[in-house]
Every structure is written in structure tokens, then in C-alpha cells.
Amino acid sequence: MTNGLFFRELNARRFARMDVKFIAGYVLMMLLIPEALGDAIDWEAMLQPQGGGVRYDGDGTYYGQQGGQNDGGACSFGKTFSNSLGLSWKAGVQTYIALNRAQYNNSQACGQCLMYRGLGPGIGMLPIPSDWQYGLVDNVCPECAYGSIDLDKNGDGRWKIEWYPIPCNVGDGKFHYYFGGSPNPYWFMFAISNTRVPIQNVKLKNPDGAYYDLARGWNNMWAANGGPFTFPIDIQITSVLGDTVHDAIQSTAGGDGQAQFPDHPIAGNAQAPAPLKALSTEGGRRMLQS
């Protein structure tokens, strides 16, 4: 037996043993870490009053006031999106949020609205308030642990928090398009903000009439290549709740579209116990009290 063959056999055996350990470890992980079993965020919770009891907890930290209006947020919303400059829907958002990497899930959570509050314990000078605050995810926090959020706010310290996902209070607001890079007739990419709930999937209508899936980047941009494309272009957008709507992008200047995801009436008892100060129910839609 040559040395080379011997080592190859040894390695093959080692790999076989590693496989067993790896699979056993994976199974154990799936059993021990509940989040490994389900979605990064429990989207169905958004159809229940107050998240149907779903609560994520972790640490809340501050990363300084960016006002949500920088292009630096990983979600690539540009300078005009909910509650920022010149916006189609202005209700409610108090804080822009950088979500932990696991739940950000390669930008799937971009545009997620959530209610969060401080639970008390923590260290630092400025505790996170214990009354519910309304936040919108526009960024990722790579170093944050599962459940944790980094607030786009001036502040100090690390505080225990809890949060749950809710549909955004978009009112009559429509999707908003923002183009990145240097679009041309054969290639362009764009991000979509002002969605009632996050986006699962975007398809674009090809010149041949067929819709095809666009690839989503870590920066929440949907990239189209092929063409040559002529505007307006039809797209088909599916939400994380499975609703599919059509819209037309007028040009690479972006701006407001015509469509929005449908509003789902909140199921169950709207008068659930422990009402949230910030919330009331109006026509089945959650509204922030002013």
C-alpha cells in the first residue's frame, strides 16, 4: 500500500466518523435550539392580537442615531421610506432597528415592524423604556445574538428586551422602489420598502412574457439581468404571509409604486388581556394612538 493510498483511506475513515458526529450534533442542535426548527421570525404571529403571545427576547443595545435615513442600512431602503424624509406612510415608527443576523436571515426580515420594550435588567446609563415602542427593521446587527436588537438611537448600555413582530401601519402607503448601482437595459437592482409585511420573493416579467425569480442580495437588493428591459416592467411580489400582488416599476428613478400587501384582520380576541398602551384596534387594523 502506498503512503498516498494509506492516507486517503485514513482520511476517508476519519470523515465517516466525522459524519456520524456531525449528524448527531446537528440533530441535537435541532432539538435544543427551538429557532433552528422554525422560521427566523414567526410570521403567523402577526395575524394574532399582540403577536398571539409570541415574544422574542435578547439584549437591546444602541448604535447611535442614524435617523434611518442613511443609505448605510443593510436593507438599502435609500433615503425615503417609512417615517423618513418625504414619505408615503408616516405613522408610528419610533425607532429603526438593526436585527440580529440569524433573524435578519440574509435580508428576509427587512421592513419588519415590531413592538419592543425593555424588561428592566441591564447595565449602562440609559435603560430601554418599559413601555412598548414601535420599531422598523432597516439594518442587520452581525454581532447580535439571536433575539437581540440594536437600536438606531443615541443611548448607553445593554438591556434585556422582548419584542414581537407586527404588520406595519402603512395606511394607504404603497411600495417604494430604490435603485442601486448603475442600472442599464441589461442589468439593474432595486430594493422595496414601505411593505406592510416583509417580502419573501420577487418575480419579474421577462420580455418573453414569463415571470422569473429575482435573486436577493444580503443588502436586500433584487437583481435583474438579461433583457434588454423596457419600462414600465411588471413584477410579482409575494409576502412572507404568502400574499402575492403585482406592481409596475415605471423607471430606474424608482419612487412609489401602486401596490401594497393586503391587510389581514387580526384574528381572535382584539380585547386580549394586558393591552398595549401604544396600540388600539381600528377596523381590524392595528393603529398607533397619537
Size of the site for ligand NAG (CB under 6 A): 5
User: Any idea what DSSP says for residue 94?
Assistant: -
Q: Using CB under 6 A, which of 80, 108, 148, 195 touches ligand NAG?
A: 108
Task: Tell whether residue 39 is a contact of ligand NAG (CB under 6 A).
Answer: yes
As measured in angstroms, the least distance from the Cβ of 200 to ligand NAG is 6
Q: Using CB under 6 A, which of 70, 105, 238, 281 touches ligand NAG?
A: 105
Task: Tell whether residue 281 is a contact of ligand NAG (CB under 6 A).
Answer: no
- The alpha carbons of the chain give a radius of gyration, in whole angstroms, of 22
As measured in angstroms, the least distance from the Cβ of 223 to ligand NAG is 15
Residue pair 74/271 in contact by the 8 Å Cβ criterion: no
As measured in angstroms, the least distance from the Cβ of 148 to ligand NAG is 16
- Count CA atoms within 13 Å of residue 108 on its CB side: 17
Residue pair 220/202 in contact by the 8 Å Cβ criterion: no
Is 198 strand, coil or helix? coil
Q: Which one, of 188, 288, 269, lies nearest residue 235 by Cα?
A: 188
Task: Tell whether residue 213 is a contact of ligand NAG (CB under 6 A).
Answer: no
Is 82 strand, coil or helix? coil
Q: Using CB under 6 A, which of 200, 206, 238, 250 touches ligand NAG?
A: 200
Amino acid in position 156 = D
Task: Tell whether residue 40 is a contact of ligand NAG (CB under 6 A).
Answer: yes
Task: Tell whether residue 238 is a contact of ligand NAG (CB under 6 A).
Answer: no
Summarize as ranges the residues that interact with ligand NAG (CB under 6 A). 39-40, 105, 108, 200
